[in-house]
Amino acid sequence: MSTGIAASELILNARGAVYHLDVRPEEIAHTIITVGDPERVQNVSKHFDRIEGKYQHREFVTHTGFVGNTRISVVSTGIGTDNIDIVLNELDALVNIDFATRQVKEELVSLRIVRLGTSGSLQENIPVDAFVASSHAIGLDNLLPYYTWHNTPEELQLLEAFRGQVRLQPHAARPYLFEAAPELLERFGEGFHTGITVTCPGFYAPQGRLLRGALSHPQLIDQLGAFSFENRHITNFEMETSGIYGLGRVLGHRCLSLSAIVANRVRGEFSADGNAAVEKLIATALPVIAA
Ligand code: R1P
Ligand code: URA
């Protein structure tokens, strides 16, 4: 029998927990909520009927508990798809690799992963404090090109339209696209705008924001907002969704990203109370996720 995945690849600490998350297999649920801000973890878990365990290492805070009979873990990812690479791989390892033998299990678990985050709107009619459910994610970041994956014909058509309408600088990353898990997306019709979310590799110039310096692509916000293909539009942008949807596809997990809009980039407005909008998103989404 092989010795399994090497110590340098699947890194376990003295507690037998996975390297960055510091969580052991029995400590993680199969329904996962991800949030960017570590402080937001307690804002989700305070709605749990029972908290079973709390774990923390670096910016990765995990609370596992129950809403009714549904066991849920809420995990903070920090900002960006580079952190999503760590969180999605370690969540997958926790359920799909036997830590004793270091072998991939024969029966694989498909996690349900829902991001509850904040985002900037690219449409005048999607105001601050509104909610968006991401039907698709387009990645302008550089994470997924390090993996291989399969797209559906519909995804490839939409991606082709995007590449035709939004011309990025030649040295920028090549955009990629994935759809949400349909069975999760369909639960969030009422009270949510639905559309394509663009994931950017930064908050300032990669989202067309300029405090000082100069933008290489000053038309970015206009071009993203004007994109249209078969009545599909880009609603918003943020910094994690493409990595979650993309690694979800690679590893066989079902993913959805929900956002509270805190900035409207067309109107130049920012929410007067973004924390209240996020709190409302959590209170709205959690019972639906747990159902
Ligand atoms: C930027 O301010 C951060 O906010 C958004 C972006 O994706 C990025 O992580 O999400 P979170 O509020 O979930 O962190
Ligand atoms: N998060 C982002 O990434 N962008 C915004 O404009 C607001 C929140």
Ligand 1 pocket member 35 (CB < 6 A): yes
Instruction: Tell me what pLDDT residue 3 has.
Output: 85
Our answer on whether the CB atom of 118 is closer than 6 Å to any ligand 1 atom is: yes
Classify residue 122 as exposed, middle or buried by CB count within 10 Å of its CB (0-12, 13-18, 19+): buried
Residue 151: phi and psi, rounded to 5, are: -105, 155
> What's 1's DSSP letter?
-
pLDDT tens for 73-116 read: 999 999 999 999 999 999 999 999 999 999 999 999 999 999 99
pLDDT at 42: 98
Spans of the chain, pLDDT less than 70: 1
Name the fold adopted by 25-290.
Answer: Rossmann fold (3.40.50)
The confidence score (pLDDT) of residue 1 equals 57
Residue extents of the structural domains in the chain:
25-290
Instruction: Pick the ligand that lies closest to the CA of residue 119.
Output: 2
pLDDT by residue (tens digit) across 134-168? 999 999 999 999 999 999 999 999 999 999 999 88
Helix (H) / strand (E) element for 78: namely none
Residues 6+ apart with CB under 8 A from 138: 159, 162, 175, 176, 177, 196, 197, 198, 199, 234, 242
Which pLDDT value is given to residue 172?
A: 85
Q: Which residues pair with 18 in a beta bridge?
A: 12
239 lines ligand 1 (CB under 6 A): yes
User: 52 alpha carbon to ligand 2 midpoint, in Å?
Assistant: 32
Residue 2's pLDDT is 76
Q: How far is the CA of 120 from the centre of ligand 1 (A)?
A: 9
Q: What single-letter DSSP state applies at residue 89?
A: H
Tokens of 38: 């570590």
pLDDT at 185: 98
What is the DSSP-derived secondary structure letter of residue 174?
P
CA atoms 254, 148, 167, 218: torsion sign: positive
Would you say the ipTM is above 0.95?
yes
Distance 96 CA to ligand 1 centre (A): 28
